[in-house]
Amino acid sequence: MIPTTDKISYLNQLLKVGFHTLDFGSFVSAKAIPQMADTEEVLASLDTTQCDTRLLAIVANERGAEKACSFKKINDLGFPFSVSETFQKRNANSTVAEAFEKVKSIQQLCEAHEKQLVVYLSMAFGNPYGDPWNEQIVFEWAEKIAGLGVKVLSLADTVGLAHASQVEKMTGFLIEQMKDITIGVHLHSTSANRIEKLEAAYRTGCKRYDGALKGIGGCPMADDALVGNMDTEWMIDFFNQKNQHLALNQNELSAAIKMAEKVFV
């Protein structure tokens, strides 16, 4: 549990850096995820007047989506859609088929309120539960979801199982086949294979990458052995080496990194 005041200070610092999107909170069950119970309070204290960063809130059902859509500050809603039945049940207490119906309803809400829906294809690179998985399953769900009007899909390596070859093949295929859709990657990784995964995604022309400072994170509903999010610092260094100069304020980024070291202890 992180104090609400610390969240607000940290997120406001991140808003000064210049990131494209900030995943700031979640409108989900406070009973299931008590760490996110203060999302509305946090949102009220975020200063978005001095930046172009988009605010994204995670939702798991129509109720959460309706709440998120009621706030003008929020630009994007994120929905974790799992291709694994086991994980979909653990994460949102629904079947994959039920989750698809939720995506349909949430997309309609987003269209009505001028929000953008980002769908994360969780367990896109395999799962530890023994559920059926292959690339075609992922591609078919991506096509179905895009068919609802969703314009942003992110392949999520939820438990860090992906191999670089998978990342390149699957991301590249979707980018090639779905030219009017933004295809991103949400990679979880240790220092052992981070470069290979980033290289793989980069070769496909992927332009959307999720990360977290200090690599903090991992889904508590996924598995006992969590693999953290891709460290944003790693990605920034990687893109700098590729001469992809990001429009980030380095001084504000340094301040955010120092704050992260104190917030996440």
Count of alpha carbons within 13 angstroms of residue 61, beta-carbon side: 11
CA distance 82 to 92: 9
pLDDT of 225 = 55
**Residue 117 DSSP SS3:** strand
Outline where DSSP puts E strands in the chain.
Answer: 21-27, 54-59, 76-82, 116-122, 152-156, 182-186, 208-209
* Per-residue pLDDT of the chain in tens (265 residues, 90 and over written 9): 899 999 999 999 999 999 999 999 999 988 888 999 999 999 999 999 999 999 999 999 999 999 999 999 999 999 999 999 999 998 888 999 999 999 999 999 999 999 999 999 999 999 989 999 999 999 999 999 999 999 999 999 988 889 999 999 999 999 999 999 999 999 988 778 899 999 999 999 999 999 999 888 766 555 545 567 899 999 999 999 999 989 999 999 999 999 999 998 7
pLDDT of 153 = 98
CA distance 211 to 235: 8
Copy the structure tokens of residue 69: 């859509």
Class of domain 4-263: alpha beta
pLDDT of 182 = 98
Look up tokens 């549990």; give the residue.
Answer: 1
Residue ranges of domains in the chain: 4-263
